[in-house]
Structure 1
Amino acid sequence: MKQMFLTAAVLACATVAKAEVVAPGDVQFGEYGAIEASLSGVPGNADSGLEIMVTRGKGNCIACHAVSALEDYPFHGEVGPSLDGVGARWSEAELRGLVANAKMTFDGTVMPAFYQTTGFNRPGNAFTGKAAEGELDPLLTAQEIEDVVAYLMTLNEY
């Protein structure tokens, strides 16, 4: 029995070790902006996704979107559409594409691209008022994108 548990643990670790992160410049968007493959190779964690959605300095999705399930968190925005029922309206691949770079689906959207490192108009260097130097990091990591998508998939109620 111990041997079987040890073998399962080794296989689980090997699977995680094999997971390869897709770099922002290598993301393959479908015709309408969907991203079929996981960006991290690891399933998203809905609890972590919720934290990203409500945390300033991370996704802070509720700054622009209302979410009834998150009514305990203050300051829901009205810039973007309500996210109620989003898990029933969009597939996982479509949501992954929207979170990574909504402009691939909705050309004129003001939603930021959370998984992009190039193509910006004069990005700043934090709050210094100076232009950024060197390559920029994406706003969210590949795993954080997967976590947000996992949370969004739980929002099936309108």
Structure 2
Amino acid sequence: MRTLTTTAIAVLATTVAVTAAEVAPKEVKFDEYGSVETSLTGTPGDPENGAVIMKTKSMGNCISCHQVTALEDAPFHGEIGPMLDGAGDRWTEADLRGIVSNAKKTFPGTMMPAYYKVDGYIRPGDAFTGKAAEEPLPPLLSGQQVEDVVAFLMTLKEE
């Protein structure tokens, strides 16, 4: 009985580790419209953390381009991108995951940065050196941070 219990615990721990493993940026599977059906981490996103990421300059800084009424406590909302109020009704979770990961897969001409991409850039700078950075570069957001932003965007419903 003890061996069966130990084996069951080991299998469960392995299953949890595999499902919670983060999908590498190069391994993300976009469909023909740029959607990403599968979670990048296997862990549900935290909408509260997603809101923090969206309004923090050193993270997503989404509000520098988008207006979001739910984040009115943060100053200086931009007007370059579309207003995100109602985003959870306009797009599916898979659509939003794809847009946040790499919006160019859905909107080829967009100025929106690819938050979960590590290569294929056109001459990104290496900090403030004026030299081109070596690829692969780290993604702007982790897979869990992308999931958190998506979870927050899914809360933005039409009234």
Counterparts in 2 of 1:78 and 1:42: CA distance versus 1, 3 Å: same
- C-alpha displacement at 1:126, in angstroms? 1.3
CA distance in 2, matches of 1:155, 1:16: 30
1:90 aligns with 2:91: yes
CA distance in 1, matches of 2:13, 2:102: 31
Tell me the residue number matched to 1:64. 65
Tell me the residue number matched to 1:102. 103
Tell me the residue number matched to 1:141. 142
Most deviating of 95-104 and 126-135: 126-135
- C-alpha displacement at 1:157, in angstroms? 2.8
Any stretches of 5+ residues in structure 2 without a counterpart? 1-9
CA distance in 2, matches of 1:136, 1:22: 16
Q: Is the 8 A contact 1:16 1:42 kept in 2?
A: no
- C-alpha displacement at 1:39, in angstroms? 0.6
Please give the secondary structure, in 2, of the residue aligned with 1:97.
Answer: helix
Residues 83-103 of structure 1, C-alpha deviations (whole Å, 9 max, x = no match): 000001100000000000010
Counterparts in 2 of 1:145 and 1:133: CA distance versus 1, 3 Å: same
1:37 aligns with 2:38: yes
CA distance in 2, matches of 1:66, 1:12: 43
RMSD: 1.8
CA distance in 1, matches of 2:127, 2:77: 24
Any stretches of 5+ residues in structure 1 without a counterpart? 1-9
- C-alpha displacement at 1:57, in angstroms? 1.3
- C-alpha displacement at 1:129, in angstroms? 1.4
Residues 25-83 of structure 1, C-alpha deviations (whole Å, 9 max, x = no match): 11100110000000111110001101100001110000000001111110000000000
Tell me the residue number matched to 2:6. none
Tell me the residue number matched to 1:118. 119
Q: Is the 8 A contact 1:48 1:148 kept in 2?
A: yes
List aligned pairs for 1:3-14, cutoff 5 A.
none
Tell me the residue number matched to 1:130. 131
TM-score normalised per structure 2: 0.88
